Amino acid sequence: MTTEHRRNPEEIQRFTANELAQHWVLMITLTVLALTGLALFAYGTWIGKVLMAIEGGMEARGAIHRFFAVVLMLLTAWHFFYVVFTERGHRQLMEMLPHASDFRGFVALLGYYLGRTAEPPPFGRFTPMQKLQYWGAGLGSLMMIGTGLILWFHTQAMAVLPKWLFDVTTIVHGYEGLILFILLFGWHLYIVHFSPGNFPMQRTFLSGRISRQRLWQEHRLEYLELFGDRRPTPLPGQREEESP
Amino acid sequence: MRTLAPLASAALAAAAAAQPVPAPTPAPPPAAEVRQCGICHGRREFKQVDADGTARTLWVDERELRRSVHSKWHCIDCHADVDRIPHPARLAKVNCQRCHFPGNPVGAPEDVNYEGYVKSVHGRLRLAGNLKAPACQDCHGAHGVVKHTDPASQVHPTRVPATCGRCHVQIFAEYTTSAHGISLLEKGNTEAPSCSACHGEHGILPAKENASAVSATHIPETCSTCHGMTEFNLRYGIPINPVRTFRHTFHGIANELGSARVANCASCHTAHNVLSASDPRSTVNPANIPTTCGRAGCHPGANANYARGRFHIDPSSRDAGIIYWVALFFKILTISTLAGLGMHILLDLAKKLRHRHHGAATRD
């Protein structure tokens, strides 16, 4: 599948193998962390009880959760070095920085949804929604790592922290995890899998490639920078891609 | 000499119950017979001196017998191995099962508890030949047995602690100074638990055995008999439901899943020395929290920080303080996130589906 796409001259490379690998590790890690975390957070409901049974009880659940927590910490270190010390990574981070234009772009997108404008607003390399997903997942993960370490090393942490702060940490870790779960497993999965035109999936996360057609539709500013004002011609048989 | 015909043993009795047996009608024992036993046993100073020099009274107080539920039975109805007078020095221990079995023909309260006793720690030891382990009469009394609802009964709730305490001396001492003990023994509040309220009566099992009502995993359920009821807790000045709030903690969930390693109610509050947290002697008094949490290798190095906060927190109650507000903030944040993202999804879906219906042709 991917080789076929690579041969397609109408596609361009959007992400490197390194970036795709980071995405894979993050995807697997956050999925396992969410399921093992929910088993405890939602233990009062049947969902939690079912998850807890599947995951082999309290001790096994905890061991799995902490193992993948270590993976997440390693991935965070990997990503940190990537965006700080590699030229390509640093450029991506710069592209990802939020701007006031992102907010205006999002408002304009709402206007387009509501029929105020005929065309969606033009977006750059990363749309406001993608930036929100990146920073939500990134800062959220950092917060989860911080609070998670306090919970993991609770005996040592409680020697320094008052008990009420430990209780607050427990609440923050639980709800922050729930919000991340909603952001990634609700919103992100909708956008890349279920949004009409993307079903069953947007393939970029597999190949790292994107069609020029989709780039034109979804990342107009990046397209103009790369190819100028020349509109892409849809390949024969290829359905016109949808907007963001 | 009279013999008590049909009631030889529990085993025989089961067979006897199947076929109708003429039930012996208890009649007041003839004064002559009582007097016969009373020739010796009616004398206050009648005693036996054992080889080691200890004296054992053999006096039977006739008034005690007359007051008991067995007042209409004869001495030999229970002491069935007496077939001549004077009788052998050592008689067999009276077997209550002669009458107290399900379906007995004499109308004795049916002892459905016997099976529980046989399996209990007391029954197992007794049947294994340990004569220190209690048989029926050790707890219920011998000649003076009265109904357990009678305050004079050794197994009346207010007297159970002293009865168990005859053997469990150390525990009895702890219990009498605990909140439960003071309430029951000093204030006469029968809502307060005696030993049997937690441990059971006939079927008492060692706490180490999982099936025990006081095993690590069953303790919360046992305590919740009383402390699981909000109305009960409020009556005793306990503002939160301690069992429900425990169930939501790491300790509570692990405990429910069968972990004996985590703290259960008794780990912190102790089993027998339960005291209000405001009592300086209580293990859960803020001053003692570090010691309590650091005990048994649970949280080594526990210090005063462990007491800086509340226990048994209900994050959805304002009493939880900052935890309530943080939880409320996150609940609102979660709902807003859900609403915001859900709205975006709906708008995106609506726009794209409408596009599809009108066809791509209408686009430029």
Q: Tell me how many domains chain B contains.
A: 2
- Answer yes or no: is B276 within a domain: no
Evaluate whether B120 touches B204 at the Cβ level (below 8 Å): yes
CA angle B237, B243, B246 (to 5 degrees): 115
Domain finish residue from B98, B116, B144: B98
Location of structure tokens 């039930």: B23
Q: Which residue has the tokens 């930036």?
A: A131
Kindly state whether residue B33 falls inside one of the protein's structural domains. yes
Q: Is residue B80 part of a domain?
A: yes
Residue numbers in B near A158 (CB within 8 A): 299, 302, 305-306
Secondary structure letter of residue A182 according to DSSP: I
How far out from the chain centre does Cα A233 lie? 30
* Chain B closest-CA separation from residue A97 CA (Å): 21
- Contact of B308 with chain A, judged by CB distance below 8 Å, is answered with yes
Interface of B with A in 193-252 (CB under 8 A): 248, 250
Residue B176 within any structural domain of the chain = no
The verdict on a CB contact (< 8 Å) between B330 and A172 is: yes
Question: The pTM is what?
Answer: 0.80
Helix A128-152 / helix A87-96 crossing angle, nearest 10 deg:
110
- The verdict on residue B1 lying in a domain is yes
**Closest chain B residue to A116, measured at CA:** B351
How many C-beta atoms lie closer than 10 Å to residue A225's C-beta?
11
Q: How many contacts, defined by CB atoms under 8 Å, are there between A and B?
A: 112
In order along its 364 residues, chain B shows pLDDT tens digits of 344 433 334 444 443 333 444 445 555 555 555 568 888 888 888 888 888 888 888 888 888 888 888 888 888 888 888 877 778 878 888 888 888 888 888 878 776 777 788 899 999 999 898 988 998 889 988 888 888 888 888 999 899 999 999 999 999 999 999 999 999 999 989 899 999 999 998 889 999 999 999 999 999 999 999 999 989 999 998 888 899 999 989 999 999 988 888 999 999 999 999 999 999 999 999 999 999 999 878 999 888 999 988 899 989 888 888 999 999 999 999 999 999 999 999 999 998 888 776 654 433 3
Separation CA A85–CA B159 (nearest Å):
78
DSSP character for B61?
-
**Residue A137 identity (one-letter amino acid):** A
End-to-end CA distance of chain A: 24
- Test B349 with A195 for CB contact under 8 angstroms: yes
H/E stretch holding A226 reads helix A220-227
Q: A51: how many CB neighbours lie within 10 A of its CB?
A: 21
Domain boundary among B69, B98, B127: B98
**Domain boundaries, position B345:** 320-359
Pairwise CA distance, residues A92 & B175, whole Å: 69
| Smallest Cα distance from A88 to chain B, Å | 31
Give A194's contacts (C-beta < 8 A, 6+ positions apart).
none
**CA distance linking residue A29 with residue A72, whole number of Å:** 6
Q: Where are the beta strands (DSSP E) in chain A?
A: 11-13, 209-211
A183 with B341: CB under 8 angstroms?
A: yes
Compute the nearest-CA separation of A29 from chain B (Å): 22
Give dist(CA A203, CA A211) in Å, integer: 10
Chain A residue with Cα closest to B255: A58
Contacts 24+ apart (CB under 8 A), B197-201: B197/B157, B197/B225, B198/B222, B198/B223, B200/B116, B200/B120, B201/B113, B201/B116, B201/B155
- Note whether residue B29 is domain-resident: yes
**Residue A56's CB: how many other CB atoms inside 10 A?**
12
Q: Do B334 and A179 touch (CB under 8 A)?
A: yes
The answer to whether position B134 is within a domain reads no
CB-CB contact of A207 with A108 (8 Å): no
Interface ipTM? 0.87
Parallel, antiparallel or unpaired: strands B55-57 and B47-49? antiparallel
Quick check: A162 and B308 CB within 8 A?
yes
Tokens of A96: 């990802």
Residues 6+ apart with CB under 8 A from A125: A95, A219, A221, A222
A114 contact residues in B (CB cutoff 8 A)? 347
Please tell me the distance from the alpha carbon of residue A74 to that of residue A22, in angstroms, as a whole number. Answer: 11
Domain end residue (candidates: B78, B98, B118): B98
Of A207, A187, A214, A215, the C-alpha closest to A20 is: A207
Out of B248, B351, B360, name the one closest to residue A240 (CB): B360
**Has residue B203 been placed in a domain?**
no
Give the model's confidence band at A32: pLDDT under 50 very low, under 70 low, under 90 confident, else very high. Answer: very high
